[in-house]
A and B are shown apart, each in its own frame.
Chain A
Amino acid sequence: MDEAAIRLKMSHISKSFGGVEALRGVDFTLRRGEIHALVGENGAGKSTLMKIIAGVHAGFEGEMLLDGAPVHFHSARDALKHGIGMVHQELSVVPQLTVAENVYLGVQPITRLGAVDWAAMNKGAREQLQKLGLDLDPRMILGDLPIGIQQLVELSRVLFSGASIIILDEPTSALSPPEIERLFRSLRSLRDQGNSIIFISHFLEDVLAIADEITIFRNGRKVVAAPVTPEIDKAWIIQRMIGKGHEELESSYLGDITLASPKGARTVLEAEGLSKAGAFRDVSLTVKGGEILGIYGFMGCGQIELARALFGKLKCDAGLLKLDGAPHKLSNTARAAKAGIAYVPESRRSMLFHHEPIYKNTSIAILERLSRLWLKPDAERKIARQHIESLSIKTPGTEALLGNLSGGNQQKVGVAKWLTYLPKVLILSEPTRGMDVGAKEDVVKIVRNLRDQGVGIIIFSTEPETVLSLADRIMVMRKGTVSQEFADETISKDRLLAAA
């Protein structure tokens, strides 16, 4: 490789957030006309590095050279001017606007009179989307379309913006296999035109299918950078991604998990024919005490809605729910909590009170059992102390504001608030999303421990590793229905994905 082909060279990059080092002396090189995959566990630092390149994080240490000249971007707009565009993991589309308006967000074509040139915009949007294999009316409201299509619209916005360095953060997580194939075709054609693409993904199959070069991160450091050759396979990547001493987690990545459901346990939760228009239909499931049921599906397959419905947050159109054999009405979350259903939602923001101390966060769900009328703050603090100790939550104390804790510790608080009195059923939605390896293993331990105490647990996840590493029985959802159930058998990630 000659030096002229190097577009971007980053040396000794370090970046920390409030004392926590996200990147430690990282080097990274991107060449013209390559698709460069970046892999690593959540929290390994890959997104941080990309946000530095894309100008989102302005403050960092180290040197960044673009086409041989030192650069330092202060905003995303700044980076875009230099031809660097990024598609973030979280969708940043405007669902109220049309498809075309989203494709041309911020760069709408203008007629000579200064009005928006709708005809040009609709025509251009249609052509762009056709390159990604999408044939749809650009005048449709984006929010009415499935999440996978919304993601493709967002991708097309950056892919065809003229950027010569394109960063894609988890672009395939919400896409179906044919959509992924069409995206890859576009990426290859962009690469062959001399553009450089950085591809961040947890889906190692996707990485191996598309990448020319791979860089692996672990705990804020670069582990290795290498061209993708036939010798490189999933096992090779995983070994470097998670390091030594995580054999259990490793096995969940490599597949072949033997499922064994507990024998003779009683059924605690039984759902029959649950339906909700536009989300899921005719879903039936049972969970036994001391069993972990994993429900896997692609994003947008209805499993998040199903999880909410089981907790009474979302009203079902039809269906029955029985708890310990007795019918249970799914009217609101207060009733569900009282009946012994606990729920940990996928987003920490929607389950915790960031401006309140820890003890108020751990007591909120059980206040009714702690006090009738008057609060008992000492009892609340005592409970908080017990949780801090038993779950090894890292915090200065019970009075610390939740917002000052790290993500993994916040997640533990979110689980802890349901553990003072053991629930009958614990529903976890995406329990390990956005966590580093250590925090993930802690969650796995906590959940297994609860199962062993007889709690019936349902895990909803779009990450196959999470489901495989935890579940005793697995149901796969596809487009709102249960497509397959795996029990008492050996299963690999491939079979799981094939069913979704």
Chain B
Amino acid sequence: MTSTSEARPARQSVGDWFRNQLSNIAPFLTLLFLVAFFSFASSSFMSFGNLQNILQQVSITAIIAVGLTFVILTAEIDLSVASVANATGIVVAFFTLQDASVNIANIPLAGGFAIILAIATCVALGGITAIGVTRIGIPSFIMTLAMLQICDGISAMLVRGQIAYAVPSLVGELGSGSIFGIPWLIIVAALALLIGHVVLTYTRFGRYVYMVGGNREAAEYSGVNVKLIIAAVLMISAFCSGLAGMLGVAYFGSAQQNEFGTYLLDAIAAVVVGGTSLFGGRGGIGNTIIGLFVLGVLNNGLDHINIDSFLKILIRGLILLAALIINIYAERLRVSRSASH
């Protein structure tokens, strides 16, 4: 009896540490494993040029994932991110003078106005989502699904099956230009991640985001305006998506419908693979960065080892499933531990 009760605390604390860190350790090990694997399997993978490739490839996803991290930390979800990005990219092109060959009945404005209108559009879309979720009480899963469709509709109405190419010069520079050999897109994505991290970690608002996600009822009983926080994260998410959408149009070189199709899944995967809890309250931008690298290395590495491109899609799905399983188990371990007290 005495010996077991003495041995127990030590064993518990190691176990506790592991359980608490499981959601952080697992993604990092996954990343190390993938890097090691592709370095071994392909001679062209490990190079500075390819690192820049990877960074550039994940930049658009990264900007979207910053906003999505806020949303998922509050235990909500935003399924409209890619569609908001698409609609915002099309809006900025819609208000830009296009080449005569482009058959769109658009309204050319000065570049600054086009950008302001595009940002106003994505924030307004986020505002509608926020009202639906917090005022009317529609679950975010359903509300953002509706917004996904609405944004796709806006995109379709504006381009009517055509493709626009021109964007304001500022957007064009940030999306496809570079400075000292570093693409602006990478810099913008890094800044977005940095700002997201600082807000989440060092500001009062960031604390509220974690507390609302950790225990919504307790936050409300502590006098936190939970609805305001949720509205704010949904609007931050829409803003990030809009920013990504504008830069994406410049990065891809065109604005057309359905060009952000894969980004919804990629952004959610990056956040969740990184270890941010789908139940809210745990994780953060650091996790999202790891998740972005896992996805980026995976997508890029699979290109380097000359794998069947159809198999690639399946592998991505399996990796996401594995991450979800770890996410759920990490949460379950934590809950069972706290319940034993």
Contacts and interface: CB of A to CB of B under 8 A. Distances in A.
A61 interface: yes
Given A374-B204, A375-B204, A364 B225 contact: no
A113 B193 CA distance: 62
Contacts of B218: 349-353, 364
A496 interface: no
B316 to A, nearest CB: 31
Contacts of B12: 18
A333 interface: yes
B204 A332 contact: no
B282 A355 contact: yes
Given A334-B224, A334-B228, A338-B223, A353 B214 contact: yes
Contact of B204 (A17, A352, A372): A372
A337 B207 contact: no
A355 B281 contact: yes
Interface in B220-239: 220-225, 227-228
Given A334-B224, A360-B211, A375-B206, 10 more contacts: A16-B5, A17-B340, A19-B8, A61-B1, A351-B218, A351-B221, A355-B214, A364-B207, A364-B218, A417-B222
A19 B9 CA distance: 9
A313 interface: yes
B223 to A, nearest CB: 2
A198 interface: no
Contacts of A372: 204
B202 interface: yes
A336 B217 contact: no
A364 B211 contact: yes
Given A61-B1, A375-B202, A404 B214 contact: no
Given A19-B8, A360-B211, A354 B338 contact: yes
B223 A334 contact: yes
Contacts of A333: 220-225
Contacts of A360: 207, 211
B224 A18 contact: no
B215 A332 contact: no
A368 interface: yes
Contacts of A417: 222
Contact of B221 (A61, A343, A356, A367): A343
A371 interface: yes
22 contacts: A17-B341, A18-B340, A61-B1, A313-B221, A332-B225, A333-B221, A333-B224, A343-B221, A350-B217, A351-B218, A353-B218, A354-B338, A355-B282, A355-B334, A356-B211, A364-B211, A364-B219, A368-B204, A373-B205, A374-B202, A374-B204, A375-B206
A345 interface: yes
A373 B198 CA distance: 11
Contacts of B282: 355
Interface string A54-65: 000000010000
B338 A375 contact: no
Contacts of B223: 333-334, 336-338, 365
A313 B9 CA distance: 40
B268 to A, nearest CB: 23
A178 B227 CA distance: 44
Q: Which of B215, B218, B227, B282: most chain A Cβ within 10 A?
A: B218
A396 B288 CA distance: 32
A349 B216 CA distance: 11
Nearest to B217: A350
A371 B205 CA distance: 10
Given A355-B281, A374-B203, A313 B220 contact: yes
Interface string A368-405: 10011111000000000000000000000000000110
Interface string B305-341: 0000000000000000000000000000010011011
A334 B225 contact: yes
Contacts of B210: 356
Contacts of B202: 374-375
A332 B271 CA distance: 31
A373 B220 CA distance: 20
